Amino acid sequence: MNIILCANPSDIASYSLESSQSIKINKSLSTSSNRASDFASKDGIQVSSLDARKSVLSCQYVPKQLEETCIVGKPAVSKPKQKLEFIRTLLIDNYDSYTYNIYQELSVVNGLPPVVVRNDEWTWEEACYYIYEERAFDNIVISPGPGSPACPADIGICLKLLLECGDIPILGVCLGHQALGYVHGAEVVHASEPVHGRLSEIQHNGCSLFRDIPSGRNSGFKVVRYHSLVIDPKSLPKELIPLAWTCSTDISSLREQKSDHDAYDNQLDQETNHTSLSKEFKNGAPWPSNCADGMPDGTVLMGIMHATKPHYGLQFHPESIATCHGSQIFKNFREVTEDYLGRKDSCSNRGMKLQYNACMQVGNRSWQFNDNLRSNHLSILNTNHVNLYKMVNSSSLTNGVKFLSLQWRKLENLSCQVGGAKSIFVKLFGDEKAGNTFWLDSSSTEKRRARFSFMGGKGGALWKQITFRLSDPSEVTCESGGHISIEDAQGLSTTTFLEDGFFHFMDKELQSIRYDEKDYKGLPFEFYGGYIGYLGYGLKVECGALYNRHNAGTPDACFFFADNLIVIDHSNDDIYILSIHDQTTKNTTWLDDIEQKLTTLKSSTSKTSPSHSSIQSNKISVKPGFLSDKTREQYIEDVEKCQKFIKDGESYELCLTTQMRKKIGEVDPLGLYLHLRDKNPAPYAAWLNFSKENLTICCSSPERFLRLDRDGILEAKPIKGTIARGLTPEEDEMLRSQLQHSEKDQAENLMIVDLLRNDLGRVCEPGSVHVPRLMEVESYATVHTMVSTIRGKKRSNLSAIDCVRAAFPGGSMTGAPKLRSMELLDSLESCSRGIYSGCIGFFSYNQTFDLNIVIRTIVLHEGEASIGAGGAIVALSSPEEEYKEMVLKTRAPVNAVVEYEHKSLDQ
């Protein structure tokens, strides 16, 4: 994509009507009716690539000379500041992955969640209707985003808002900041270096946006930056005033930083170091400014404001977890809004006073600005994109509401007496190559990383297997349809086309289940039976991605409905056995039978366990090693392409991956998994076997994607930053410390933490998203990794599937911003990721769930072993080192396959 960085203001593409006929707006419908999904489409056109999307969007704008409109009326007589109960914000989302961090901040600060609208979701006429006729908003915030303000598809309606809405406070963040400069004639250029997930100290001039915030070197005001482009301060027109800039060219590490989001929330001792200046817009005169030429050499412009309009821009990210005083900035913007509204006697373009007890008649419906305003504001203008997933209708494949009952028993202190989880699984489910079995295997329980393991096989009358394959995009026009096959306990199969996709189907399945919470009272874990299996990476097309360039050879989702299961409590050495049934199925003897088998195992633990590596050597075809889909040179070239995208502002971080493959013949899959778990135990390990699909998954993942517990708490634990273990204790500790203090790895981790905060922010209660652990180093058999923990309280009106769709695929496997990054990665990667980069886990019948990230995993399918690996590419990446890190991540699963094959040959 060609980016024009220094176009003249006259070249800015303006929104204009293509005909003299105005667009009719249905005032009685929610504005979300303009888009039924997150997919980029306009006027019925489905776009299949990034550049195509941009060209389709751009062609709607007719270039013309823009005449700047200043809608600021005559200044009002000074009055006391108007303190409002809450502030109504329009939040423009530029397809970014940090927008909902701003949403969370504003929800708390404003006392009311903002309305989120994508930058191409409203026409200019619709925006005018809600801003001026409905008077629905007190201010506007423009989010960050990928790309450049010079590209209409990247910035959408934002330029028009900045030009025409001179009588409403606007705050632009990052891309929004650049748009404010660009639209008034400033030049947006490449920064001297891209800066993503890194911190700088800030100097500001004490305007209202920075009230009560310290300034300057060693003041404690450090901010997080995510940008490759900047406003050239020498190009600022007289209308724009510089507010803030970096203290120097130094960019610091995160380790010493304490943000106002820190768990300890330490109070800064430094006194505020800024001069008290006169109010902006006082008596209608331009606010006094410092000349841009007075900025120290080598510093970067971090904030601007318009001289006569209440418009502000910030190049840094106040919403980041590591930005200090970010919440105060949003509070100050609220006060700026209240101050500005209180100083205006009238708004000429709105045609009436901003009084909150007024009632405005529009058509046959009134807009009440009183006690009902809060609910009206949300119900009529709710465009939270998570809720859009529920707007499509689908024919149900369920048999209506099902009431499930749970029976369970606890067998105390029995696990070790029968040989532990491995022995239990092998002896109870290991026959016939462990076909149609599952094992969510907490094989690494050190430091309380995991506590429970869940296992089972083809069960009772409610057991079934669900297999879903996305449609080939060339065969159908819908974005996320596919074929689902359901095999029941009697072996009968049905196949149906799902127009609305797999997530919609799973949502309806889970919501059709009724249960009594008393059934599982006393159980210390969250899975009581239900769906257990995997979601493939290709399901990203049901979560906002435009397309899948490559089709997967394996199913895109595969699940068992487990009605009987065994749970092992590794902490207390207890075993739980559970069975569920409905009104149509009779109580079975399964609990009695399995208890008897476990008791029998107790007396036979001294006997040798069955071997799972004894296979005839003449059936083995051992190849020299794995072959990568990309050569070393090709992978390094792709890393360099990623860095070019990052330099141009298209992404902050790209998680580039590739696949390694090997023909393996008739290897015993369970024996291979047991070898892998011995060599590389992991807290979120898993075994899944789907015999009918000739598919086995041997997973040793150390990473949790997302969990929802019975109290409604969501938790994500992304990993970013990996280094090999040392050969000696001294070398091992040195490498661990090296990872802990690596600026590159900190930047990687911070970007994904902010991304996961955003994803949880879409579905969590305002103010509940927090980070109890930031960048802790965890050590495993072959690597040290950097792990963070993000938590939040789920909104009560959203389902488990809503939460997964809001965050899938895991941000640690995509990069940020997520949607743009996935498009770019699809253009670089030469094959489907398939199961790799997806997730494995359970959806309990009561809508709790726990899902991992599929990494460090061997996928056995139709005689081939495949292993995916990759890493996060950032501006600081070394292409050669990125290749080495990718190879390091394959070491454990690759060695497990090769070693097990040779072990099998020797027997």
Confidence of residue 142 (pLDDT cuts 50, 70, 90): very high
Write out pLDDT tens, residues 157-166: 999 999 999 9
Q: Are 57 and 118 in contact (CB under 8 A)?
A: no
Query: Is residue 62 over pLDDT 60?
Result: no
Helices assigned H by DSSP within 111-248: 124-128, 152-155, 158-164, 175-183
Q: Are 199 and 747 in contact (CB under 8 A)?
A: no
Q: Where are the beta strands (DSSP E) in 80-185?
A: 89-93, 115-118, 139-142, 170-173
DSSP characters over 825-870? HHHH-SS--TTTTSEEEEEETTS-EEEE---SEEEEETTEEEEEEE
Phi and psi at residue 572, to the nearest 5°? -110, 0
Confidence of residue 805 (pLDDT cuts 50, 70, 90): very high
H or E element that contains 404: strand 402-411
Write out pLDDT tens, residues 332-379: 999 999 999 887 644 444 333 333 332 222 222 222 333 344 444 444
| Per-residue pLDDT at 237 | 96
**Mean pLDDT to the nearest integer, 723-739:** 92
Write out pLDDT tens, residues 287-300: 334 445 567 777 99
H or E element that contains 464: strand 464-470
The Cα 188–Cα 227 span in angstroms is: 12
Higher pLDDT, 480 or 742: 742
Token pair belonging to 867: 């292993």
> What mean pLDDT, rounded, does the chain reach?
81
Write out pLDDT tens, residues 827-853: 999 999 999 999 999 999 999 999 999
Angle among Cα 257, 211, 766 to the nearest 5 degrees reads: 65
Write out pLDDT tens, residues 302-322: 999 999 999 999 999 999 999
The torsion defined by the Cα of 627, 628, 629 and 630, in degrees rounded to 10, comes to -130
| Per-residue pLDDT at 906 | 64
The Cα 49–Cα 322 span in angstroms is: 34
**Mean pLDDT to the nearest integer, 115-119:** 97
| Per-residue pLDDT at 902 | 80
For CA atoms 809, 810, 812, 816, the dihedral sign is positive
Write out pLDDT tens, residues 594-643: 999 998 887 665 444 444 543 333 333 334 588 999 999 999 999 999 99
**Mean pLDDT to the nearest integer, 534-556:** 94
The Cα 306–Cα 826 span in angstroms is: 40
From residue 89, give the alpha-carbon distance in Å to each of 86, 132, 872.
Answer: 10, 14, 34
Confidence of residue 395 (pLDDT cuts 50, 70, 90): very low
Higher pLDDT, 450 or 143: 143
**Mean pLDDT to the nearest integer, 653-669:** 92
Q: Are 526 and 800 in contact (CB under 8 A)?
A: no
CA end-to-end distance (rounded Å), the chain: 57
The Cα 425–Cα 328 span in angstroms is: 54
The Cα 247–Cα 261 span in angstroms is: 23
Q: Which domains are seen in the chain, by residue range?
A: 89-248+297-343 (3.40.50.880), 402-595 (3.60.120.10), 627-684+707-842+855-906 (3.60.120.10)
Looking at the annotation, which residues are catalytic? 174, 317, 319
Higher pLDDT, 840 or 268: 840
**Coil/strand/helix, residue 567:** strand
| Per-residue pLDDT at 264 | 31
Q: Are 843 and 506 in contact (CB under 8 A)?
A: yes
Query: Is residue 71 over pLDDT 60?
Result: no
| Per-residue pLDDT at 636 | 97
Helices assigned H by DSSP within 157-293: 158-164, 175-183
